[in-house]
């Protein structure tokens, strides 16, 4: 089972390589290999999927009706915003320049495990959207997690 959690401050080198925290890389599925998928998220960040998790999302979106205009728009935008990447022997991934620009990434990144995937944020942008109020978080949990 994939279990990606917590937040990690990370550096991006001059070539655009991000070293994945060992706790993140170590929780990728063992049979996933070194290939992962990067996607430009709906928010201004990047999403890193283990291949096994990406395939689930891929199936849902690829299976939409090509004759429906909204479905085509979702497919077009989703698939044009992804890039398969490899985790090298040092645990690094190369972030494409266009994706770094989209997410506002430069030398620093905040890597956030969100269960089945990882978000890669500009730390300032993450702090702007973070919910710090425990009462607000409690209301969200009640709204979406109560039976």
Query: What pLDDT, on the 0 to 100 scale, is given for residue 31?
Result: 63
pTM listed for this prediction: 0.91
Kindly list the averaged pLDDT for each block of 10 residues, start to end, along the chain of length 147: 86 96 83 85 96 93 97 96 94 96 97 94 93 88 86
Give the Å distances, CA to CA, from 80 to 60, 88, 144.
16, 24, 30
Helix 69-80, helix 51-62: angle, nearest 10 = 150
Give the Å distances, CA to CA, from 54 to 39, 49, 99, 143.
10, 5, 18, 27
CATH code of the domain covering residue 82: 3.40.1550.20
Total count of domains within the chain: 1
The domain of 14 spans: 4-145
């Amino acid at each position: 089972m994939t279990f990606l959690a917590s937040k990690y401050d990370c550096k991006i080198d001059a070539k655009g390589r991000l070293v994945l925290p060992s706790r993140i890389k170590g929780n990728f599925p063992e049979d996933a290999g070194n290939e992962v998928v990067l996607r430009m998220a709906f928010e201004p960040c990047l999403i890193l999927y283990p291949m096994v998790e990406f395939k689930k999302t891929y199936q849902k979106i690829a299976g939409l009706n090509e004759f429906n205009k909204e479905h085509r728009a979702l497919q077009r935008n989703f698939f044009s915003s992804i890039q398969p990447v490899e985790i090298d022997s040092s645990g690094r991934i190369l972030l494409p320049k266009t994706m770094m620009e989209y997410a506002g990434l430069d030398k620093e990144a905040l890597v956030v495990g969100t269960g089945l995937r990882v978000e890669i944020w500009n730390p300032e942008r993450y702090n702007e959207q973070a919910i710090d109020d425990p009462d607000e978080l409690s209301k969200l949990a009640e709204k979406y997690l109560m039976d």
